[in-house]
Amino acid sequence: MATGTLNIGVIGAGRIGKVHAESIATRVAGARLGGVADINLAAAQSLASQFSAPRVSGDYRDLLADKSIDAVAICSATDTHSRIICEAAAAGKHIFCEKPIDFDLGRITQALEAVDKAGVKLQLGFNRRFDAGFAKARELVASGKVGAVHVVRITSRDPASPPLEYVRVSGGMFLDMTIHDFDMVRFLSGSEAEEIYTMGAILVDPEIGRAGDVDTCVVTMRLANGALATIDNSRKAVYGYDQRVEVFGSAGMVAVSNRTPDTHVHFAANGVHSATPLYFFLERYADAYVAEMQEFVRCVQAGATPPVTGRDGLVPVIMGLAATRSLKEGRPVRLDEIR
Amino acid sequence: MATGTLNIGVIGAGRIGKVHAESIATRVAGARLGGVADINLAAAQSLASQFSAPRVSGDYRDLLADKSIDAVAICSATDTHSRIICEAAAAGKHIFCEKPIDFDLGRITQALEAVDKAGVKLQLGFNRRFDAGFAKARELVASGKVGAVHVVRITSRDPASPPLEYVRVSGGMFLDMTIHDFDMVRFLSGSEAEEIYTMGAILVDPEIGRAGDVDTCVVTMRLANGALATIDNSRKAVYGYDQRVEVFGSAGMVAVSNRTPDTHVHFAANGVHSATPLYFFLERYADAYVAEMQEFVRCVQAGATPPVTGRDGLVPVIMGLAATRSLKEGRPVRLDEIR
Amino acid sequence: MATGTLNIGVIGAGRIGKVHAESIATRVAGARLGGVADINLAAAQSLASQFSAPRVSGDYRDLLADKSIDAVAICSATDTHSRIICEAAAAGKHIFCEKPIDFDLGRITQALEAVDKAGVKLQLGFNRRFDAGFAKARELVASGKVGAVHVVRITSRDPASPPLEYVRVSGGMFLDMTIHDFDMVRFLSGSEAEEIYTMGAILVDPEIGRAGDVDTCVVTMRLANGALATIDNSRKAVYGYDQRVEVFGSAGMVAVSNRTPDTHVHFAANGVHSATPLYFFLERYADAYVAEMQEFVRCVQAGATPPVTGRDGLVPVIMGLAATRSLKEGRPVRLDEIR
Amino acid sequence: MATGTLNIGVIGAGRIGKVHAESIATRVAGARLGGVADINLAAAQSLASQFSAPRVSGDYRDLLADKSIDAVAICSATDTHSRIICEAAAAGKHIFCEKPIDFDLGRITQALEAVDKAGVKLQLGFNRRFDAGFAKARELVASGKVGAVHVVRITSRDPASPPLEYVRVSGGMFLDMTIHDFDMVRFLSGSEAEEIYTMGAILVDPEIGRAGDVDTCVVTMRLANGALATIDNSRKAVYGYDQRVEVFGSAGMVAVSNRTPDTHVHFAANGVHSATPLYFFLERYADAYVAEMQEFVRCVQAGATPPVTGRDGLVPVIMGLAATRSLKEGRPVRLDEIR
């Protein structure tokens, strides 16, 4: 291993753990896959073997105890994130953590304090910021090409509902799905939400309603810089993963549309036909997952603050809680009500 | 004049009166421009002369008294609409009336009753329904191609703020500008709004705020069929008139984007460049203005009910009043509160 | 009639005569429809009546003899063009003439000499130059935005084959259909063809082959400025009228694509669907027909040289003859071989 | 190493050798990077080290002699391809070979005979066939969705001229650059060229002309199935790598456009701006390089014939020689003249 290579242990060998393990092992410059841990030891072993990770365990503490491991990527179940952050920070590991840190603001705060105290780097997994299109939109906004921001519009629709057992523990649509869009509003606008109003509906699957959640929503918010934002979500778009953003301002607008698997256009007598959007997040954000991990590695190696901070992990949860309360109480909710 | 040709008098020789006079005189099959009236007689004379209208007057009552005139197109100031409708109906003229009928629900009701009593045809000037793109969207929705409607999204932005003196008498953004989008929500979804929530902001011009209005807004609503709708408006988009709609449902989505003056694409080292949208409503909806008048003529001649009824003129005003109240009171407002 | 209004007689009341009569009567500023002539008197009467033309005749010479008529639009059969040009010039009428002037270079030259001698204005009906997209492409080329021209690419496909009786008298594909594209090459590049090579095929309809023509072709040419150009034509594209151009140069490229009746996009599970191109030339070039006539009127009134000159009518015929010879002899043909 | 994994040695550690080594080591299922050879030993060592290849040498014969190596990817200089194919075949290695096999038809034939005799698999590196868009176009053609093929149109432009020393040994534009497009014509049409006509020009760089080559060309050809094809090439498009194909037929058309790094669109007062195409072949065809190697591995493991055969390596060279002769002699050249 070359001097300076960051040795990263992946905690959690599920879907997203596999993505990060592969990135670290084969795509990210300056990184090495140091180990894989999962309470399902067989899953950990399979993933470790695929990418020749030297260490594998059924207990993530083994990775934290391993002096050769510099950093961990926390890809385990959400309810373990805040605890593992605290322990990893205490062990002096730099931390990449999937969103959300927790649904409980107290536990999030505790985790962020542990990180601060340990002086390790923490980056949250808001992968969409690293999508080439969204990053370009942010760049244009930041450089003044759209002027003062007036309206942010986001559409985010999944191609299929998650399993009901997932819905039940997901924290609800706003904390599970809209949370990414809340992050996008902050990222794109460079401002913070002050007030949120939510309309929700159960249109995709009545079982989601029986599980206490909604499957369709429109969220509106007012930002500190005066701009307005609107997000619409659906758990099911039959044409695939629909991920679009738009920032409108005094000097113009930037809009980012979906990516497709190919650019063919078929002209026939009955119409003009082209490809549906890339199916889901693994396809749409494949490059973004690599880019965010690359940036994490770069920041740790450079001693720089990662671009998605602990606070970036906290605020969208507050927004999600405000949106949830707005839905329940049928009124706009100010973020400072959420404490 | 061929038997069956509808002889139409145009009342009001301003911007939109000119549009309709030209359509009637040169574009609409089965119609003839029978006269022009405007309190500004010179304006009426100029327009009448341009399209060889046989009668011209400074008083619309002259057109109503003219037996040869079968129908009138009311293009005068908004505060004269309800009165002229009543008088035209009493005179047995079929009526095409620009939106809105009035800002006062009582006067609208009175006008609609006069129309009903006289048994004349009335069509409201919601021209966007006749835009080829929006009409196609409605057709796809109506034919089930997007399935059950889940979310309607509309963006509607003007290229430049109107004069402040206009803003002051316009009835406010929701009754002047959003009213078209309210109509679109009804048209596209085939359903009615039940509850409306509005966020507004003054971002384009502080003078608009001093005039008691907003210049930027996001309106969210819940429809009777369970669907949600969101509209965002701005008084000023520097890149031109931005008019887009989207209907998302259980079986897909239809989106309608802007039209451009041409389809050139310029590939240069510094980027790929193309044309901005058609500048404003006269350009974007040029064909729609002809089509709506053609349909009015067709319906009168066939004895059919015009596709944009008196009720279609009433409901968007109620929606605008609900949106206005929501903005003032900072809460969602049910339409049945507006009476 | 206002002083200065150009009184235009339309000769030929067929498809294209109707287009120009309507433009002159209702769309073109500063023009008036002074009369209609057609050897089919009923057709002339019908058209004259529709647009209230004061004079109608079965003989175009009546229009030429009418002192009140300032100009004629020659829309009759191709084999009458050169003769009517000569007579109209002798009568002192300004002339708008549909392409081509003739298939015989001698008769074209004679007609152009008659025009020169009479000192009247002549504009050829190469309507595509007035298409907003193609005009924009030319503007970008002329202003240097694509740099030195390297390659011109044109695709031009009709939605359906013409009747066989038309094919037989059309002069062949290169003089009937490609002639428009030859004009586009000259217009877009600002240069002249020196050498042309043609490949042709009979793929659409064997009857076209039996009539001695081809229905599919690729024409390649070398221009005086060193650039290359390629045109591909087909008599039948099932998805509609396909009219695209592209100019590639040292500083970039401009491409112009088709126009569609609307801009809807339908996202469904089985693909993304949108509208086919506008069906045929009357739809695609509706605005261009008005614009070319407006420009003719403007030039006559201003005493300016029309933008599509007699020479612009001559050269594409030479190109068509060269292309025809190339097809027959299976070799590249230089334009200076055609005399 | 798992049973059945294909152990591949990469011969040539230059630009394309690096691409294939990385694919084999990290992207291609069922493959392993068994070694790297390059006459520049340091380059071989560097590449082998990066992807942990167990064997490295300055002589490709060491890879051929290694019993553990099942297959080789020939990525060395073109003039070594045919020789290495012969030797690799004799050594019983399956062969993936970059295009072209050779510029000499005799040496190509010899190499293909060696492959046949040895009974090893051979796949040529026509990577574009594996581009998702082009593959989709082929799929639509093969399934009859465009009907009988009438016209194939290909535009292929590099973003920058290669170094002059490269131009001098490249075999000329037709054998170096157009050869890919010749392959595309065959792939997309499912037919063979019978006759080729070429126009070439020196418009990008006069030095290319002094080196005896052209830098801009339009190639036209007639195919055995009666269809026509046209290719236009340029050595330099300032807006990036321009790679588009179009197949037009009796039932429609399929067109494939460029890919961009992102899908943002920036609407400003001065126009609408978006991203230029992906810069060059390494970006545009990144996925295609992986896909072609995956298919090679799959075919070898399944005992199947690779989809790009030795004959697919031979025919485009014949086409390139015909195009070259056509350019020199200024006439269409039949492929059966090239022997």
Q: Which residue is associated with the tokens 């044409």?
A: A239
Q: CA of B74, closest CA in chain A: separation in Å? A: 35
Residues of C in contact with B25 (CB under 8 A): 26
Mean pLDDT for D258-276 is 97
Segment (H or E) for B184: helix B178-189
User: Longest Cα pair distance anywhere in chain A, in angstroms?
Assistant: 67
Measure the CA–CA gap between D188 and D128, rounded to whole angstroms: 11
Nearest to C239 among D227, D234, D253 (CB): D253
**Does B331 lie at the interface with A, CB-CB under 8 angstroms?**
yes
* Residues in B touching C132 (Cβ below 8 Å): 261-262
Quick check: A271 and C276 CB within 8 A? Answer: yes
**Nearest residue in chain B measured CA to CA from C266:** B254
**Which residues lie below 8 Å from residue D270, measured CB to CB, with a gap of 6+?**
none
Q: Which of C237, C267, C274 sits opposite A271 (nearest CB)?
A: C274
Q: Under an 8 A CB cutoff, do D265 and A256 touch? A: yes
- Distance in Å, alpha carbon of D293 to nearest chain A alpha carbon: 17
Q: Helices (H), strands (E): how many in chain C?
A: 13, 15
Structure tokens that stand for C186 in this block: 């000259």
CA distance A202 to A184: 24
CA angle at residue C84 from C78 to C88, to 5 degrees? 145
Q: Which run of H or E residues covers position D95?
A: strand D94-97
**Beta-carbon separation of D254 and A262 below 8 A:** no
| CA–CA dist C325, A282 (Å, integer) | 58
Token output for D48: 């082998």
Peptide bond into A100 cis (omega under 30): yes
C3 has a pLDDT exceeding 70: no
Closest partner CB to B234 (pick from A239, A248, A251): A248
| Window A:113-132, CB contacts with D under 8 Å | 131-132
Q: Report the relative pairing of strands A71-74 and A6-11 from DSSP bridges.
A: parallel
Helices (H), A51-145: 60-65, 78-90, 105-118, 132-142
Interface test with B, best of C141, C241, C267 (most B CBs within 10 A): C267
B204, A248: Cβ pair inside 8 Å? no
Note whether D226 contacts C203, CB cutoff 8 Å: yes
The string of DSSP letters for D298-319 reads HHHHHTPPPSS-HHHHHHHHHH
- Contact D262/A at CB under 8 A: yes
Residue B1 confidence (pLDDT): 35
Handedness of CA D11, D16, D20, D21 (dihedral sign): positive
pLDDT in tens, D73-97: 999 999 999 999 999 999 999 999 9
Contact between chains at B275 and D276 (C-beta distance less than 8 A): no
Cα–Cα distance measured from residue D229 to residue D321, given in angstroms and rounded to the nearest whole number = 17
Strands A31-37 and A55-57: parallel
Going residue by residue through chain A (339 aa), what tens digit of pLDDT does each one get?
344 899 999 999 999 999 999 999 999 999 999 999 999 999 999 999 999 999 999 999 999 999 999 999 999 999 999 999 999 999 999 999 999 999 999 999 999 999 999 999 999 999 999 999 999 999 999 999 999 999 999 999 999 999 999 988 889 999 999 999 999 999 999 999 999 999 999 999 999 999 999 999 999 999 999 999 999 999 999 999 999 999 999 999 999 999 999 999 999 999 999 999 999 999 999 999 999 999 999 999 999 999 999 999 999 999 999 999 999 999 999 999 998
Chain B, 267 to 306: residues with Cβ < 8 Å from chain D are 267-269, 271-276
- Low-confidence stretches of chain B (pLDDT < 70) are 1-3
Tokens linked to B51:
């399209």
Touching check for A133 and chain D: CB below 8 Å? yes
Mutation site, B266, B272, B273, interface D, largest D CB count within 10 A: B272
Q: Which residues of A touch D140 (CB under 8 A)?
A: 264, 266
Q: In Å, how far is A23's CA from the nearest CA of chain D? A: 10
* Chain segment B136-184, per-residue pLDDT in tens: 999 999 999 999 999 999 999 999 999 999 988 889 999 999 999 999 9
pLDDT in tens, C109-157: 999 999 999 999 999 999 999 999 999 999 999 999 999 999 999 999 9
Distances (CA, A) of C247 to B272, C256, C277: 14, 9, 21
- Give B33's DSSP letter: E
Total CB pairs under 8 A between chain A and B: 110
Task: Encode D31-70: b = buried (16+ Cβ within 10 Å), e = exposed.
Answer: bbbbbbbbbeeebbbebbeebebebbbeebeebbebeebb
Which H or E element spans position B133? helix B132-142
Q: For residues C153 and B18, what is the distance between their CA atoms, to the nearest angstrom?
A: 42
For chain C, say whether A257 makes contact (Cβ under 8 Å): no
Instruction: Tell me which DSSP letter residue A127 carries.
Output: G
Q: Give me the count of residues in chain C.
A: 339
Closest by CA position to C277, among listed C252, C298, C256: C256
Longest dimension (CA), chain B: 67
Q: How far is C157 from chain D (nearest CA, A)?
A: 10
Comparing alpha-carbon positions, the chain B residue that sits nearest to C252 is: B268
Q: What values do phi and psi take at C212, rounded to 5?
A: 90, 15
Of D147, D151, D217, the CB nearest to C232: D151
Q: Which two tokens stand for residue C153?
A: 């690419």
D266 to A254: CB separation less than 8 angstroms, yes or no: yes
Integer Cα distance of A13 and C14 in angstroms: 75
Q: Tell me, what's the pLDDT at D31?
A: 97
Cα end-to-end span (Å), chain D: 46
CA distance C278 to chain B (A): 12
**Tokens 């203005």 belong to residue:** B289
**Distance, CA of A243 to CA of D264 (rounded, Å):** 12
Contacts of A218 in chain B (CB under 8 A): 151, 220, 228-230
D262 touching B, CB under 8 A? no
> Minimal Cα–Cα distance from A305 to chain B, Å?
32
Rounded to a whole number of angstroms, the distance between the first and last alpha carbons of chain B is 46
Q: What is the pLDDT of residues D7-23, one digit of tens each?
A: 999 999 999 999 999 99
For chain C, give the longest Cα–Cα distance: 67
Using the Cβ of B328 and the Cβ atoms of chain A, whether some distance falls under 8 Å is answered with no
pLDDT at C339: 81
Residues in chain B with CB shorter than 8 Å from the CB of D276 are 267, 269, 271-272
Confidence band for D170, pLDDT divided at 50, 70 and 90 = confident
The reply to whether B222 touches chain A by the CB within 8 Å rule is yes
Of D153, D201, D251, the CB nearest to C232: D153
Q: Which residues of D touch A263 (CB under 8 A)?
A: 133, 256-259
Residues of D in contact with B237 (CB under 8 A): 267
Among A247, A263, A276, the strongest candidate for a mutation testing the D interface, having the largest count of D CBs within 10 A, is A263
3-state SS assignment for residue D324: helix
Residues of A whose CB is below 8 A from D269: 251-252
pLDDT digits (tens, 9 = 90+) for D36-51: 999 999 999 999 999 9
- Show residues of chain A in contact with C258, CB under 8 Å: none
CA D153 to chain centre: 18
Rg of chain C over CA atoms, in angstroms?
20
Contacts of A137 in chain D (CB under 8 A): 264
B148 and chain A in contact, CB less than 8 A: yes
Mean pLDDT of chain C: 96
Strand order in the sheet with C55-57: C55-57, C31-37, C6-11, C71-74, C94-97, C122-124
Q: What is the pLDDT of residues C170-229, one digit of tens each?
A: 899 999 999 999 999 999 999 999 999 999 999 999 999 999 999 999 999 999 999 999
A259 contact residues in C (CB cutoff 8 A): none
**Contact status of D255 with chain A (Cβ, < 8 Å):** yes
